[in-house]
Structure 1
Amino acid sequence: MMADMTALLTDYTLQSVIIGAVLLGLVSGVLGCFAVLRHQGLLGDTMSHAALPGVCLGFLIAGTRDIGIIMAGALFTGTLAALVILLLTRMSRLKTDAALGIVLSIFFAFGVVLLTYIQGQNNAAQGGLDAFLFGQAAAILRSDLWLMGGITAVALGLVAMLWKAFKLVSFDPEFAASLGFPVLVLDGVLTVMIALAVVVGLQMVGVVLMAAMVIAPAVAARQWTSRLETMVVLSAVIGMFGGVSGAVLSALKPGLATGPLIILSVSAVVVVSLALAPRRGMLWEAVSLWRGRRRLRYQHVLTTLYRLAVHHADPDYSSEQGMLDTYHGLGTRSALRKLQAKGQVEWRAVATGEPGPSHRWVLTPAGIREAERILDALGQEER
């Protein structure tokens, strides 16, 4: 088993795919954070689909599957799509979601038309061009990796140089504008950089699935932290983990496409993060909601005892268990036991005029103070 794994990891093709997956996860994880924080999740989807006509135009210009020219074409049409969205939202009454839908549909339709036209030319060089729709990681060459690495280095370098400006624009563009930052220019640079991330992932996961690679790592990272610095690092790690996991799973089970497995791996991290992340996860929210309801029930029982004592002008007024169940329904005993453990009520034997003592619930001084505090807080909220 160990020998098989060693042989697998020393495979030249798998090594290339893993390196490409690491580069893809790194750049998409970092840049995706800014897209998520700027509420532009659909922007990555639009630009990834808008890259298809660029792929086809690059092929038509080069006459062959030259990855450099194809990526340049994809970057051009992806950036052009982003600029069209910007113009539509700023110079018309269209909302952002409508502009995204229009641009995505038009550019992708144009790309499909070009792809169909190329496939109808019977050009042997166009073989595998449609792989850019869903990716073809196994076809990555070491020369392609150098190009992907160069694009990744440029994108990360820009993030490092403009970190403070990007951070301010992402969180508070109005304040950034008041300080004299060129918000529109910075917004355009961020958009172009997201297009760069899309270009890096074209051959790995394709134009259809690339949007998930831009958004998913950032969404998962956001569940675990509220600091941008930590979010960016964690998003990059999640992106690289998903990329490598998908590549290895594809190698272990030949015939399964690498791109979709990468997306599924990252999506699995998103699901875990949404479910288990502290303070944000669904499980955490469910536990917090259950605790809040239980605490509210304790408070209701305590204030009921207090109001009864006030009504009878007797701080030692005793209440029967059955009477409290009538007020709040069955099951108040567990709440009373909890209050008793806190020293706020007592299960006290009282004289009732009947043979033998009867036990009833009585507020303690600590319980009276707590009930008054709760009622004061409620009164202030109502005011």
Structure 2
Amino acid sequence: METWWRALTFTLGYNTSVVTLGAMLLAAGAGMVGTFVLLRKRALVSDAISHATLPGLALAFILVGLATGDGRYLPALLLGAAGSAAIGLWAVQAISARTRLGEDAAIGAVLSSFFAFGVVLITVIQSMAVAGQAGLTGYLVGATAGMLASEAKLIAGSALGLLLAVLVLRRDLLLICFDTDFARTQGLDTGRLDLVLLMLLMAVVVIGLKVTGLILIVALTIIPPVAARFWTDQPMRMVALAALLGALAGYLGVTVSSVREGLPTGPLIVLSAFALFMVSFLFSPRRGVLASLLAYRRLRRRVHLRQGLLALAREEPIFDDLTLTLLRRRGHIRRDGVATPAGLAAARDAEHEERLWALYRARYPDDALHREHAGLVPIHEVLSPDAIMALETQLLGRREAAR
């Protein structure tokens, strides 16, 4: 625990602190970019881009290894990965645009082909007489523990630049996510903005190779935005929350991995993100499982109570146990099932309100469709006093006409 506390407070060492900050910036940038990709309904593209980095990474390692004897030169490896990812992205776009195949089919073809080619190149590298072959496999699942301070600075600087780019372009990107046609009428080049978004996604994937690896980097672009979606309906808040949750996942993952030697940092970052997702999934006050269960329970009790009061007003027998229990707890009936004076008064009020709601639904059917659970909520909490008075007048007129 002492080691973890020192990692949490950035006192464990210079390199650990730099790696933690780099991972936090990367995960925050991935969360922000992933939010736009998710809203654009193109989350699977990140999977294709990540797998398409492998052949470029391997080719860059081969070229640098043949030139210097050691292929582990991070800038060259990232450049090769970026080039390969760009080709894979172009292939996905070209296949989906110029053929009858959908984007999902194009992603499947590019993902499998590029990754298979990369695996073949890694096999070739293992037989070469160059240094660093063992470290290359770390790019598959991440190798943060072996990261040098210079590499961590490069990743942190790149991630910070990515964050700034997203902040500058956020409004235009949100516009194409929700209304592409309107964006065109505003003079925006939607095709170019789509390309910029995918290039930002590619940058996240390439920068994150050293931190989480090409297999797991996809999780940082999907899990934080999905978790953020449970907490808000506002797109800009979702972007901010995704960045915050991503940064927190990076912070927790790196610090937990520093507790014991040999713990994999990349998988722990992803597991931290998944833990935050589960917290959001279960405990979000708006869409969480617990909130949904409580809302369902409240609605069920409200329905039973309303039906019980209407049955009392109409002098109908009540057989449902839950309805009887709720009526007894409210003091509307005695233990023998006979209605109390307070229960009869509440029943008359419920029946009168039911008639008002029925009249409202008949007079304003379109508006009534947008009233959630109309009839279960007291009418004075939904409609204005003037609207209720108008309904009362119409109801009174109907009664007089019936006489």
Same-fold call, TM cutoff 0.5: yes
Partner secondary structure for residue 202 of structure 1: coil
2:252 corresponding residue in structure 1: 245
Q: Distance in 1 between matches of 2:248 and 2:226?
A: 15
CA contact (8 A) 1:54 1:77 kept: yes
**144-153 or 168-177, which deviates more:** 144-153
Q: Would the alpha carbon gap of residues 68 and 136 (structure 1) be closer, same or farther in structure 2, given more than 3 Å must change?
A: same
1:157 CA drift (Å): 2.7
Partner secondary structure for residue 213 of structure 1: helix
Q: Distance in 2 between matches of 1:226 and 1:360?
A: 41
Q: Distance in 2 between matches of 1:375 and 1:340?
A: 27
2:187 corresponding residue in structure 1: 180
Q: Would the alpha carbon gap of residues 324 and 91 (structure 1) be closer, same or farther in structure 2, given more than 3 Å must change?
A: same
1:347 corresponding residue in structure 2: 339
Return 5+ residue gaps in structure 2 as ranges: 66-70, 370-403
Partner secondary structure for residue 10 of structure 1: coil
Q: Would the alpha carbon gap of residues 4 and 166 (structure 1) be closer, same or farther in structure 2, given more than 3 Å must change?
A: closer
Q: Distance in 1 between matches of 2:294 and 2:343?
A: 32
1:108 CA drift (Å): 0.9
Q: Distance in 1 between matches of 2:270 and 2:25?
A: 15
1:245 CA drift (Å): 1.0
1:356 corresponding residue in structure 2: none
2:322 corresponding residue in structure 1: 331
Among candidates 363, 370, 381, match of residue 353 of structure 2? 370
Q: Distance in 1 between matches of 2:325 and 2:361?
A: 24
1:112 corresponding residue in structure 2: 119
**Aligned amino acid, residue 275 of structure 1:** L
Q: Distance in 2 between matches of 1:295 and 1:331?
A: 11
Q: Distance in 2 between matches of 1:218 and 1:207?
A: 19
1:363 CA drift (Å): 6.1
1:3 CA drift (Å): 8.4
2:156 corresponding residue in structure 1: 149
1:314 corresponding residue in structure 2: none
RMSD between aligned residues: 2.8
Q: Would the alpha carbon gap of residues 58 and 208 (structure 1) be closer, same or farther in structure 2, given more than 3 Å must change?
A: same
1:20 corresponding residue in structure 2: 22
Q: Would the alpha carbon gap of residues 300 and 347 (structure 1) be closer, same or farther in structure 2, given more than 3 Å must change?
A: closer
Q: Distance in 2 between matches of 1:60 and 1:209?
A: 24
Tell me the number of residue pairs that the alignment of Structure 1 and Structure 2 aligns.
Answer: 356
- Encode CA deviations 1:20-57: one digit per residue, 9 max, x unaligned: 21222221122111111112221222211111112112
| 2:147 corresponds to 1:164 | no
Among candidates 105, 108, 127, match of residue 101 of structure 1? 108
Q: Distance in 2 between matches of 1:83 and 1:121?
A: 31
CA contact (8 A) 1:89 1:99 kept: yes
Partner secondary structure for residue 128 of structure 1: helix
2:291 corresponding residue in structure 1: 284
**Aligned amino acid, residue 42 of structure 2:** Q
Q: Distance in 1 between matches of 2:294 and 2:132?
A: 58
Return 5+ residue gaps in structure 1 as ranges: 309-317, 350-358
CA contact (8 A) 1:33 1:218 kept: yes
Q: How does 1:136-285 map to 2 (within 5 A)?
A: 136-285=143-292
| 2:137 corresponds to 1:130 | yes
CA contact (8 A) 1:224 1:278 kept: yes
CA contact (8 A) 2:58 2:122 kept: yes
Q: Distance in 2 between matches of 1:220 and 1:44?
A: 17
**Aligned amino acid, residue 153 of structure 1:** L
1:315 corresponding residue in structure 2: none
